[in-house]
Structure 1
Amino acid sequence: MTTSKFFKKLSIAVASTAFMSLSGATIAQAISITPNNNGEALVNEILGSGITIDLDSINYRGANGASGIFTDGLSSGIGIDQGIILTTGKAKDAEGPNDLDKTTTENNYRGDPDLDGLITEKTKDATILEFEFETQGGNVFFNYVFASEEYNEFVDSKFNDVFGFFLNGENIALIPGTTTPVAINTVNGGKNLETNGSNSEFFNNNDPSDGGPFFDIEYDGFTNVFTAQALGLASGSHTIKLAIADTKDQGWDSAVFIQAKSFSDGGTSDGDTSDGDTQDVPEPIIDGGILAEPPAQDTEDVPEPSIVIGLLGVGFAGSLLKKKSTKSHN
């Protein structure tokens, strides 16, 4: 490993450790998951102001135990305290600590053609929540975090679990200010943190083989809180499809967390946080016709490594140099 690659790993490790110190998160605290496959219960959990749901249109498709309702997300550092989780494996497996580099549940469930259209490989083990809604204000947005066990070793590979939020058939799960879908290959810290990352300012490392774990959650990496949004929708009914799936094989699970009460038309969410305060949902922004990055949210972001690099020594060195295990496929 070159000196520059070593210090890249070190800076990400220090940033994550400092995050835990500044946020008060500790390994003793953990996100709590209650498995739930009831489509109406899942929709009600994320439903916010200004949105009317057609209850007859709610359609959940997925394996038993693949989805659920979570609480105490802030204590685990994901930036969202409460909401729903959709996974490619078992929702309960998201609970920390991160003591395994390759958590997998093979549900033997089918994939999804819309997700297939986002990639070049076939999907498997899809979990999908779909429903029709009307918006009073003409807008819709909601907050989410994507997480995966495929970080960091399968960055820039074909084993790239995929998710999408299809509004009237168009994916709105995009990197802020771009038309690029959020995925492992588009938001990461580099393969094993040794290559140049992609949109790494939005990425949080939690890999036990790359200096972690730093957060009390099973997944080896996850994004910052993103906002999916669309403006100026026509009056009448619209369809949203929230979907996630394994790609090519069923190994190394992934998940998407969606914030409670944030599926709204632009008002303020009343989703609970750890201290009982309300979570303000940011107003959408348009920048040159592209949905721009939302204003700063009251979430638990990882501090910049340059801020905290001088606070800690290089005691991480030994753990950072461990080799990653190799994924086997049929």
Structure 2
Amino acid sequence: MMKKYLFLLVAVLFSAAISFAQIRLSSIKVDEWVKKNFSGQGVVIGNIKFKGYPLSTLSYTSSGNILQVQKGLILSTGNSFNVAGYNNSHNQSSTFGDILSPQADPDLAAIVSGKLFDICSVEFDFVPMDNSIQFNYQFGSDEYPEYVDSPYNDVFAFIVSDESSTKNIALIPGTGVPVSINTVNFKLNQDHFIDNNLYKQVVIKRQEPLKSTYRGTLPGRVLRGIGSIFTMNGPVPGDQTVIQADPELLKTLDPNLYRNLRYDGITKKLVAQSYVTPYKKYHLKIVIADVADNIYDSGVFIEDRSLTSKKDVQQPGFVDYPDLSKVIDPNLILQGKTLEEILPANYKKENNKPAEQIVAAVQQAPVPASQPTPATATPVQPKQRSVPAPKPVDVASPAQKKVVLTEPDFDMPNVVILFDFDKSDITEEEMSKLRTAISKYKQVRNQYSINISGHTDNYGSLQYNYALADRRNKAIIHAVSEMLGEKISIPALSKSYTQPVADNSSDTGRQLNRRVELVFIKKK
């Protein structure tokens, strides 16, 4: 009896927890949200423009862990108020335009072919204070799962551009493949996908007409026999295909999600990232649209305060640059001024350098121009790379250099420490490699600083691997502190599996990706 009451209590508490979970939506002026809520550390924003219908863009908060991006802005191809609620329809659709009146967008036209409808976009100029920008998002759609591998794929993109280059940074982590319904779903890149589909297709056949047991007269039986020759066998006109909730599917889904989100599928929390040149003017356009028709809504959730700029020493060709965040007013760059024009004379005098030398130090490693990767209807597989089997190596051996992103032009080489699967403790073999490197570092410590970044393979969720990479970083910092005989602070970035150096589809590749990279930066 006690067990029965305990079970009932747990059931009630579980139901109560679900009832408190919800997505709350609010009308918002998009330019005000971008200005006050999107920009986090190290980014200045200006010249904001919005295109779309007011109801296609709303602010939201998600309680009860419904969404992994729990607060922010949603851009939808339909009425965004329809996003929240019980997922009681397989084809949630709303539109603001007529099917006979497609719209145009030059940036989306470069990414996907097909007529566009219900375009919604927000764009603005920005100035980053460091060499890497990023923000977090999730993408959901009611085109899941029926239209996977079809041309009916709503499109979205995050387009970063300057005066010389344009690129879409809404990419599957570690690849150049755009995130879309055809590239992230229940069949492909499942690690980045959350299924919220309650429905299965069922063909319901109308009951066959009843045959009369009344035999009637002989002429009547003859006429009925003749008529039967012209009666078609098989489904009758009343047959129809319907979609109904599947009890077996319900068992596999998160009740918090399907009780509060009407999209049939959504990506996990993803990171849009791009290398940039500090103190330079860029343009970001966030855009989404229906493709081929104006039905089956999709939406992208942009996380509050997630647009940030950070110094990332893993950038290929990275060269350290001066911090000018307290020296210049980046709003002047938004207005069209160059860095050289706004550097204060007293700063140049104090540093004994003309403006062009300081600007050159900031812009020594410009980001190469690139074009958007086409988001085709057929999933695009990243190119496979052959990776040699790992073996014990010295700090600067050729095999080790295969997993070093950047080989700097000075005596202190970068080092990669490898880890076992799902582990953060350093093996004796890798500890020996680390000791050798730190022993050499002690001799030139006054000339170099250390930065590290932790990485993982792609097993597990993005969030779990961020935490695992962080634990690996902490293990390295602890070991280096012991070797130096003092507790030191080392700048550390947790990269999860977003920057693989080898193919994650093989054991050998995954082993090379489970790593912490130590980058030694020469002091000026």
**TM-score (structure 2 length as normaliser):** 0.45
Q: Deviations over 1:136-184 (max 9, x none)?
A: 1122100000000000011001100010000003100000000000000
Structure 1 position 188 matched with structure 2 position 179: no
2:122 to 122, 129, 136: 129
Give the aligned partner of residue 160 of structure 1. 153
Identity across matched positions, percent: 31
Say what the alpha-carbon RMSD is for the aligned residues.
Answer: 3.1
How many angstroms apart in 1 are the aligned matches of 2:290 and 2:308?
Answer: 28
Q: Deviations over 1:217-255 (max 9, x none)?
A: 111100011100112425321000000010110100000
- Give the 3 Å change call, closer, same or farther, for CA 104–283 of structure 1 in structure 2: farther
User: Shift of residue 296 of structure 1?
Assistant: 4.4
How many angstroms apart in 1 are the aligned matches of 2:31 and 2:108?
Answer: 20
How many angstroms apart in 2 are the aligned matches of 1:138 and 1:128?
Answer: 25
Give the aligned partner of residue 282 of structure 2. 238
Superposition map of 1:217-236 within 5 A: 217-236=261-280
**Unaligned regions of 5+ residues in structure 1, if any?**
1-20, 190-196, 268-281, 300-330
Task: Name whichever structure is richer in helix by fraction.
Answer: 2
Superposition map of 1:20-169 within 5 A: 26=18, 28-54=20-46, 57-72=47-62, 74-108=63-97, 110-168=103-161, 169=166
| Residues 94-103 or 138-147, more deviating | 94-103
Aligned residues of 2:130 and 2:278 also touching (Cα < 8 A): no
Whose RCO is larger (CA < 8 A, sep 6+)? 1
Structure 1 position 297 matched with structure 2 position 294: no
Aligned residues of 2:128 and 2:276 also touching (Cα < 8 A): no
How many angstroms apart in 2 are the aligned matches of 1:202 and 1:158?
Answer: 21
How many angstroms apart in 1 are the aligned matches of 2:313 and 2:60?
Answer: 25
User: Shift of residue 284 of structure 1?
Assistant: 8.1
**Unaligned regions of 5+ residues in structure 2, if any?**
1-12, 201-248, 317-402, 406-454, 466-524
How many angstroms apart in 2 are the aligned matches of 1:159 and 1:288?
Answer: 41
Q: Amino acid of the residue matched to residue 173 of structure 2?
A: P
- Give the 3 Å change call, closer, same or farther, for CA 80–152 of structure 1 in structure 2: same
Aligned residues of 1:154 and 1:160 also touching (Cα < 8 A): yes
SS at match of 1:297: helix
Give the aligned partner of residue 422 of structure 2. none
Q: Amino acid of the residue matched to residue 263 of structure 1?
A: L
User: Shift of residue 209 of structure 1?
Assistant: 0.4
- How many residue pairs are counted as aligned between the two chains? 254
Q: Amino acid of the residue matched to residue 285 of structure 2?
A: K
How many angstroms apart in 1 are the aligned matches of 2:81 and 2:43?
Answer: 29
Instruction: Determine which structure has more spread, i.e. the larger CA radius of gyration.
Output: 2
SS at match of 1:115: helix
